[in-house]
Amino acid sequence: MRELCLPLGLTEEELQRLDDLVSNRRRLKRGDRLYSFGAPFDAIYAIRSGFFKTDVLLEDGREQVTGFQMAGELLGLDGISSEHHTCNAVALEDSEICAIPFSRLEVLSREIHTLQHHFHKVMSREIVRDHGVMMLLGTMRAEERLAAFLLNLSQRFTARGFSHADFYLRMTREEIGSYLGLKLETVSRTFSRFQEEGHIAVQQKHVRILDVAGLKALMNYRG
């Protein structure tokens, strides 16, 4: 956890103060909302365990999933700008989070330079990630989108010590589709095609990646 979401090179005393900051824990069951669009913002959240999605809704009900977050990642950065949350965060499995009161984070990051810099990097990384999603939504075809999605999940599971090639999806086809700008049927069909072509083995939410190179190759060529 520390390696993933906290800066290195802190003194014992600094670590202690950080631990105080993130001491406010909370458990959520699958389906629970961590926060909702429009709610007042006063804390960001570090995921200790579990899996989340964030989404934004249009007035007519259309949903865009803006991200899937797992242990070690932060939620709520969108709320800083307007003092209100601008999306919904929903637990996709039973999860545990730390609430980090934002005003206290700002105080502490004035005193601990590495914390300040780390926090800026985390926000910036979120912006870079979003640009990657724009690239995906703006220029890629369905196959490329799903391949990129699977490879990204695989890489993040690996970073957390799980198998890079064998995992359970926490989200539905519809949620994957919303994230990737596709309909659930297209997601399902593309899974099936990947399976026929031997790139993966998929049965409902259980995915095994059989051919990483093949998936990567799908991403770089038209046709």
Residues that bind a copy of itself (CB under 8 A): 56, 58-60, 62-64, 66, 77-82, 86-87, 106, 109-111, 113, 116-117, 120-128, 130-135, 137-139, 178-181, 220-222
d(CA 207, CA 95): 21
Report, in Å, the least distance between residue 131 CB and a copy of itself.
5
In the bound state with DNA, the residue whose beta carbon lies nearer, of 45 and 179, is 179
Nearer to a copy of itself, 167 or 215 (CB): 215
Asked if 70 and 156 touch (Cβ cutoff 8 Å), the reply is yes
Q: How many helices (H) and strands (E) does the chain have?
A: 8, 11
**What distance in Å separates the CA atoms of residue 6 and residue 46, rounded to the nearest whole number?**
10
Judged by beta carbon distances under 5 to 8 A according to partner kind, the member of DNA, a copy of itself, none in contact with residue 174 is: DNA
- Considering the complex, state which of residue 13 and residue 60 has its C-beta at the smaller distance from a copy of itself: 60
Q: Please say which residue, 84 or 183, places its beta carbon nearer to DNA.
A: 183
Tokens representing residue 173 in the block? 């086809």
Using CB under 7 A, pick the residue from 191, 199, 215, 218 that binds DNA: 191
User: How many alpha carbons fall within 13 Å on the CB side of residue 74?
Assistant: 26
Q: Is residue 38 left, alpha or beta, with left meaning phi > 0 and alpha meaning psi from -120 to 50?
A: left
Q: Does 204 bind DNA (CB under 7 A)?
A: yes
Token pair belonging to 155: 């890489």
